[in-house]
A and B are shown apart, each in its own frame.
Chain A
Amino acid sequence: MMEGLVYDILIALSLGVFGAVLFAAIGLVSGTDETTTLAPLTMLVVLLGAPPAGILTFFLAGAVAKHMTHAVPTALLGIPGDTSATALIGDANHLRKLGVPHVALRKMISGGAVAALIAVPLAVLFAVLLAPFGDIIKQFAPWVFLCAAITIAYFSAGRWAAVLALIPFVLIIVALQTLTAQYGVKLAVSYFLGIAVAPLITSLFSLLAPQERERMRRSEFRTFSLAPDMKGWSGYFPNPFKVINRRQTRMTAMAASVTSATFVFSPVAMTVIMGELIGARIKQAYDRLTTVITARNGVTESTYIAEALIPLIAFGLPLSPVAAGPAAPLFNAPPRFSVDSATGEVNNLHNFLNNWEFLGYGMLAVIVAVLIAYPFTMNFAHQAASFVSRKISHEAVIATFIGLVLVVGIWEGGLLGLLVIVTVGLLGGFLGRFLGFNIGVQFMGYYTAVLSVPAIVALSS
């Protein structure tokens, strides 16, 4: 009994360390979206048979570490490290031009560390409070997803356009599923990957169209100014509470707590909103700028943790943009994990771990990620940014993602899988670019097609 527990903890610890190291490195490369990287690798860990606790620590440690190192390109090069870092780029650029990018970087990762540590216990607490409603929600799951999709669409940049665009988008997913079913192929990851790499797929298609190509032509290299290296402390592990002051700690903790509860909204939207709310209360410009950037990066951590953990612990249904996207393999990874569309019956981490295990392994994951990513970023940010910007060409990044699309597509459904990725990617990319029909809405659209449409059809026949 005791030995079994020690074994579980050791496996969870090593997968946590693995996830943290891997995603700390991935976070340094800008343009590596969370869904394209976290989802397939977590899927792999699930399918290779890792124990439930190890799956959780791998995912959480990866997410937390990535949201610390994404501060490196954001603060030092002025290019967003990933999707959630786009909300921080304005503040980071102001601090960079003031000549203090190192302050931006340190405040961001310290805020991230504080928020991540707060978010896990709060997310578990909220999940426990929501759990009594679990049965009702499971019973009405198809309708809950429909409502969630409409809500998330309305709060996206596209407003009513995004709500209405859900109809053709869902229709196409249903059509594609019917088509692949004729050949005995059932796809899931391919849809996610298609949605996540949509901007890349649309860019490559645009490059082939003569008119668009002329618009994309450049006569010069793009210039990035890399901030100089400045180290203002001694030792390897600076105390995060000395890097951010008491008010910044308080504000970050508050923002992290609030965003741990609002789990149905998109992480980027929450990051923007919390920054505005906090900024409005602080009058002095520098104070405001640094406090906002601290809290905002904290929110990128807390929303990811809460949006993955709350629906997982309380319902076992992927009822948030993060749960539906990057964290999807924790809910649905056939044949091992599944969510039954008709009955709302679930068989995933929700069933394999209890609340205390979620809390314990969740904290373990966060602590491992902080211990690895925080000192690494503090000490080697400059070298890392310099290496990535001088040695890793954009062609290489694109080649890696194309490879990923091919492997995952062929692996899941052969040629059909690949075609689905390209179709969904092209459609989603253009809908996102022209209507503000963002990636979170698209994920919910997928779940609407899988869970709500069968219920609607059953009701109307």
Chain B
Amino acid sequence: MSHPLDKPVSTTRAVRQYDLYEVWGDTIDARHLILAIVVGAVVSLGAYTIGLWVLSHLVESAQMAKAYAMLFGILGCLGGGAISALLFKPKRNVVEHVADPAFRQQVVNDLLKEYGSLGRLEDTSPEVAAELHELELYELFREAQAKEERDNGVRAETDSSASPNLALNGGRP
């Protein structure tokens, strides 16, 4: 609402010329999909039929000829897929970036919600602590842990007015 002139972020000319739909978990262009299906069908069935015809002359057992023809057919599927991949480019934006610090904070918050508590770094084995140091995540979890303990302390203070002495330092190291 605060953006009255809201526009799609990346409506480049390239995107606008497509008729996009989400099918089976990813975006496709309707016209490209139809053409790809036709290519896939023609190449795979073509390979199978040719395989069956050629092999029925070469191989004596009709059963084996049919089994080998299926091999041709499956290679045809891959061929059809490869041709479609060459003809139709993916409709994806692939961005390569290093994780944002704000993202990291959000993950920590998500984990706190999901698990109920972040636990204590002091409880981990030296190997895990070393791994966290190496990945430069130790400080992130240490701060989050301290914050969680402070918050719990505050909550304990407001919750248990009956025993103020206990609540005052409750949860704090």
Contacts and interface: CB of A to CB of B under 8 A. Distances in A.
Contacts of B28: 393-395, 398
A103 B66 contact: no
Contact of B106 (A97, A284, A407): A97
B54 to A, nearest CB: 15
Contact of B44 (A245, A392, A403): A403
Contact of B128 (A49, A227, A245): A245
Interface in A408-433: 408, 410-411
Interface in B11-65: 11, 15, 20-30, 32-33, 35-37, 39-41, 43-45, 48, 63-64
Interface string B114-156: 0101111101110110011011010001000000000000000
Interface string A284-295: 111111100000
Most buried by B among A228, A284, A397: A284
Contacts of A283: 117, 119-120, 123
A402 B15 CA distance: 26
Interface in A199-242: 199-200, 203-204, 207, 213, 216-228, 232
Given A289-B111, A400-B80, A222 B24 contact: no
Instruction: Provide the main secondary structure of the chain A interface.
Output: helix
B27 A44 contact: no
Contacts of A204: 23
A418 to B, nearest CB: 10
B18 to A, nearest CB: 8
Given A97-B103, A284-B128, A403-B80, A225 B97 contact: yes
Contact of B77 (A98, A221, A227, A400): A400
A177 B40 CA distance: 28
Interface residues of B, number: 83
Nearest to A385: B94
A132 interface: no
Given A99-B103, A402-B37, A203 B66 contact: no
Contact of A47 (B48, B67, B115): B67
Contact of B96 (A31, A41, A225): A225
Given A216-B22, A285-B115, A404 B90 contact: no
Contacts of A391: 85, 90
A47 B76 CA distance: 18
Contacts of A399: 36-37, 39-40, 80-81, 84
B45 A216 contact: no
A218 B21 CA distance: 5
7 contacts: A220-B10, A284-B119, A394-B27, A394-B90, A398-B40, A407-B45, A407-B48
Interface of B: 8-11, 15, 20-30, 32-33, 35-37, 39-41, 43-45, 48, 63-64, 66-71, 73-74, 76-78, 80-82, 84-85, 88-99, 103-104, 106-108, 110-112, 115, 117-121, 123-125, 127-128, 131-132, 134-135, 137, 141
Nearest 4 A/B pairs, CB to CB: A99-B99, A399-B40, A403-B44, A283-B119
